Amino acid sequence: MKLSDKVAGVTGSVRGLGWEMAQAFAEEGAKVIICDLDQGDVDGAVTRLGLAPGRVLGLKANVTVEQDVLNFFQRIKEKFGRLDVWVNNAGFSWPPKRPAQLEVVDTQLEDWLQVLNTNLTGTFLCCREALKIMRVHRSGSIINITSNHGKEGRARMGPYCASKFGIEGLTQVMALENSAFNIRVNALKPGGAVATERHRSNPRNKGKKALEPRVIRNCAVYLASDEATGITSQSFDATEWNNQHGIKVHYTTE
């Protein structure tokens, strides 16, 4: 198995892209850390993984709260003593309780900060603590989930685009700063709209084709594994990667 006994954590991992990666890592032999906002959801995801108690850790945490992040990385150190793979997946395109995406001229500071704090600051906080553990063992792989809109702007998605452009830049900086420690830092995007729960509930997406979340699995496993040794500071498109490797890309129509 490609990730035998590696310790791998994923934020936002009780559903969607995060859940697919957590499952894929477990199937490849990893010890898995589930992290999300609701303890009930976390407990349910841990049960669904079906791993022995010594091979899984479920953590309720808000990645925008520094003390939450410090606490859950301390739990990781106490349980596993190391960290080999970390995926920053938690994020959203617009505050969930807001009715519509707006142009920058109409965006409230509260909405801007909620998106930036989760997508970008949360990634920073988790990367900082993951790197502290990985540097001790002089190895590791960090995967930052980004988007097509991390390189190409889209109207009415100002905060989201800014956060994902920021993640692309932060990925490159951390790759430069940690290459001497044999720590790889890469960005990974699905390659298009993904059929998440929120995507399905949006009436504007009715009849539109979307990627199934499992599109992310194979490239995430590759970047987490020793197969990607020496690969760092890159930005991968999962759909393109799957096509290049002869892996079927599954779509669904909402």
CA distance 232 to 147: 18
**Mean pLDDT over each residue of the chain, to the nearest integer:** 94
Residue 222: which H helix or E strand, with range?
Answer: helix 217-224
Q: Which of 19, 25, 72, 160 is catalytic?
A: 160
Domains of the chain as residue ranges with CATH: 10-18+63-253 (3.40.50.720)
- pTM tops 0.85, yes or no: yes
Q: What angle do CA 17, 241, 48 make, to 5 degrees?
A: 25
Q: Is the pLDDT of residue 6 over 80?
A: yes
pLDDT at position 219, please?
98
Angle at 124 (CA atoms; ends 136, 45), nearest 5 degrees? 85
Least confident of 17-21, 91-95, 172-176, 215-219: 91-95
Q: Which residue matches tokens 């692309």?
A: 168
- pLDDT value, residue 236: 98
> What pLDDT shows up at residue 197?
66
251 has which bridge partners?
A: 211
Task: Name the band, by pLDDT with cuts 50, 70 and 90, for residue 201.
Answer: low
Distance CA 21, CA 223 (A): 11
Q: Does 199 score more than 60 pLDDT?
A: no
Catalytic, 251? Answer no
Q: Give the SS3 label for residue 85.
A: strand
Residues 6+ apart with CB under 8 A from 95: 110, 111, 114, 115
186 falls in which pLDDT band (50, 70, 90)? very high
